[in-house]
Amino acid sequence: MIQLLLILIINTIVLIAWGKYLHHLDAFTVDKKNEHRLFWFIVTGSILNMILVSMMYPLWENILFSLTGLGYGISPFVTHFLIVGPVEEITKFLIFIFLTGIFKSIKEPRDGILQAVSVALGFSLMENFFYALDYGVGVLLVRSILGVIGHATYAAIWGFAWSATVYTTDKDIKSPDRFYIIPFILFASMFHGAYNTLLDYNYVLFALLIKVITLGLFILIYRYVRDNSPYKRYSLKEYKKAIPVLKKGLNKYPKSYLLNKRLGVFHIYNRKYQTAEKYLRTASRISPRKIDGRFYYGVSRYLNGNTTDGIRLMNKAVGDLPPNIRKRPVDTLKNVISSESDRKDLMGHFDKHSLQFKLDKGKVREHKTATQIRYPLKQKKMEQSKKHSIALVADSDSKGCQGTWERLVRVRPGPVLLKPYEIGGSSVVNRAGKSYREVLDEKVEEFKELKKYGR
């Protein structure tokens, strides 16, 4: 009874220690909604693996004996290379794809590796428990290190392959793609069988060398996926490299607050203010309580021409911070906004005493029209024809002409040869007493008639 209690205590300590370490390897589980997912992979993996492996062993042995006449116990090579290694690796892999399919938990390449290792950890803990009952606590202490490392590193091999397949596939994995995993399972089974066989022949040093090789392979795999993760931190100057990586990550997991926010900030640095506003709006909706997301959303709104709304959002975000750190997000704008003129324009509204942005009507940023944003080339041509067209009347009194003018451009592109007359205070009219909107409406109808008859 005391021995059983001691085994349970040691196994629990090992579970907590390895679980904490795996959680430490992924600092973004909260953003990916995977906070407790690894723990459930360990617990569920330990239970399901024992059930499935007890069914797989006799089935695999019968198939092997019927095909080759070989069976368990004939030799260490046959036992471990042809039975133990393949059965245990296939069992862990089946549990792994079952759990990842239910939870949809692979949102970046690193997820597949850590979740595969968690399933293997659960299998190892249950296996160690039964070994300790037969051979004592001393065996448990050794297997809690070497056994766990072995099962975890073997699983990382096929976990990496499956995670890469899932991450690079936009939709469900097709049948031909699933067969790519087979060589990796065989590779892991080979290491597993080699380690067990060398131990049976008492080649302990060579067996430990297998552990060192698989552990080194795990480190290389983990570093590779970490460096290619969308959650990797890039400096603002690396925006050309970071933006495609972040977009790929959002294709797989569009509900990520962190990826949307980072992509929006990189677009601000790249002066793509409209695109930045789209991603930062999404980020602020995913996590409304995140102050930095709301602040940068306000910045993008301001830079995109929505002065009043942008200042309101920035002030609201800064106001939710304690007074002693309210200036921190404002200080980051020196690096985030690469355009010096835009940065000076925005910082001109900031009051250092109240730590708030003030709306100065004399410094209101001009709102960009739909034509300026969506059709920059068309806007350039319109500006070139300014002397012979009424299209670019920029005064606030003539904004009503904008929609009609855009409809006119869609009917017949090119400058409209209407001589612009002097613009006074309120309404803009021509010599016939008609407003510019009425003139443009008439021209639209005229061009439609010409187009109808092929002129």
DSSP conformation class of 232? S
The pLDDT of 50-60, averaged and rounded, is 91
**Other CB atoms closer than 10 Å to residue 450's CB: what's the count?**
12
**Domain positions in the chain:** 2-227, 247-363, 374-452
Residues 6+ apart with CB under 8 A from 206: 198
CA dist 382 and 374 (Å) reads 14
CA dist 94 and 107 (Å) reads 19
pTM above 0.85, yes or no: no
CA dist 446 and 382 (Å) reads 20
DSSP conformation class of 397? G
Compare 356 and 387 and report the one with higher pLDDT.
356
User: How many C-alpha atoms does 215 have within 13 Å on its Cβ side?
Assistant: 13
**Other CB atoms closer than 10 Å to residue 143's CB: what's the count?**
22
pLDDT in tens, 86-103: 999 999 999 999 999 898
Best CA proximity match to 108, nearest among 215, 197, 31: 31
pLDDT in tens, 77-86: 999 999 999 9
Asked if 307 and 364 count as a contact pair (C-beta separation under 8 A), the reply is: yes
DSSP conformation class of 80? I
In the predicted structure, residue 56 carries a pLDDT above the cut 80: yes
Model confidence at 444, pLDDT cuts 50, 70, 90, reads low
Three-class DSSP category at 178: helix
The pLDDT of 430-436, averaged and rounded, is 51
Angle between helices 146-168 and 85-103 in degrees, nearest 10: 50
The pLDDT of 359-378, averaged and rounded, is 52
Best CA proximity match to 80, nearest among 172, 249, 195: 195
Alpha helices in 287-337 (DSSP H): 291-303, 307-319, 328-336
pLDDT in tens, 4-31: 888 889 888 988 898 889 988 998 999 9
The number of residues making up the chain comes to 455
- What pLDDT is stored for residue 382 in this prediction? 55
The tokens for 96 are 């792994």
Q: What is the mean pLDDT of the chain?
A: 82
- What pLDDT is stored for residue 174 in this prediction? 54
The pLDDT of 228-240, averaged and rounded, is 94
- What pLDDT is stored for residue 416 in this prediction? 40
Angle between helices 328-336 and 257-269 in degrees, nearest 10: 50
**Other CB atoms closer than 10 Å to residue 220's CB: what's the count?**
11
- What pLDDT is stored for residue 127 in this prediction? 92
Q: Between β-strands 356-357 and 350-351, what pairing exists: parallel, antiparallel or unpaired?
A: antiparallel
CA dist 317 and 31 (Å) reads 20
- What pLDDT is stored for residue 166 in this prediction? 87
In the predicted structure, residue 276 carries a pLDDT above the cut 90: yes
The pLDDT of 34-59, averaged and rounded, is 89
CA dist 198 and 5 (Å) reads 32
DSSP conformation class of 82? I
pLDDT in tens, 107-140: 998 999 999 999 999 999 999 999 998 888 888 9
- What pLDDT is stored for residue 411 in this prediction? 41
CA dist 352 and 355 (Å) reads 5
CA dist 277 and 267 (Å) reads 9
CA dist 353 and 81 (Å) reads 74
Best CA proximity match to 7, nearest among 130, 150, 118: 130
Model confidence at 376, pLDDT cuts 50, 70, 90, reads low
- What pLDDT is stored for residue 372 in this prediction? 47
In the predicted structure, residue 258 carries a pLDDT above the cut 90: yes
Say what percent of the chain tops pLDDT 90.
Answer: 50
What does the buried/exposed string (b/e) look like for 153-168 if buried means 16 or more CB atoms within 10 Å of the residue's CB?
Answer: bbbbbbbbbbbbbbbe
CA dist 449 and 429 (Å) reads 25
CA dist 49 and 94 (Å) reads 9
pLDDT in tens, 143-175: 999 999 999 999 999 999 999 888 887 655 554
CA dist 159 and 116 (Å) reads 5
Give, in degrees to the nearest 5, the angle at Cα 225 between 224 and 230: 125
**Superfamily, domain 247-363:** Tetratricopeptide repeat domain (1.25.40.10)
- Give the position of tokens 């290491």: 191
Best CA proximity match to 114, nearest among 182, 169, 38: 38
Best CA proximity match to 313, nearest among 276, 354, 356: 356
In the predicted structure, residue 390 carries a pLDDT above the cut 50: no
- What pLDDT is stored for residue 44 in this prediction? 87
Three-class DSSP category at 280: helix
The pLDDT of 199-218, averaged and rounded, is 94
CA dist 143 and 433 (Å) reads 95
What are the CA-CA distances from residue 353 to residues 3, 321, 345, 350 (Å)? 69, 16, 18, 9
What are the CA-CA distances from residue 190 to residues 184, 220, 436 (Å)? 10, 19, 81
CA dist 162 and 30 (Å) reads 23
The tokens for 191 are 């290491």
Model confidence at 435, pLDDT cuts 50, 70, 90, reads low
Model confidence at 367, pLDDT cuts 50, 70, 90, reads very low
Model confidence at 355, pLDDT cuts 50, 70, 90, reads confident
In the predicted structure, residue 436 carries a pLDDT above the cut 80: no
- What pLDDT is stored for residue 413 in this prediction? 41
In the predicted structure, residue 407 carries a pLDDT above the cut 60: no
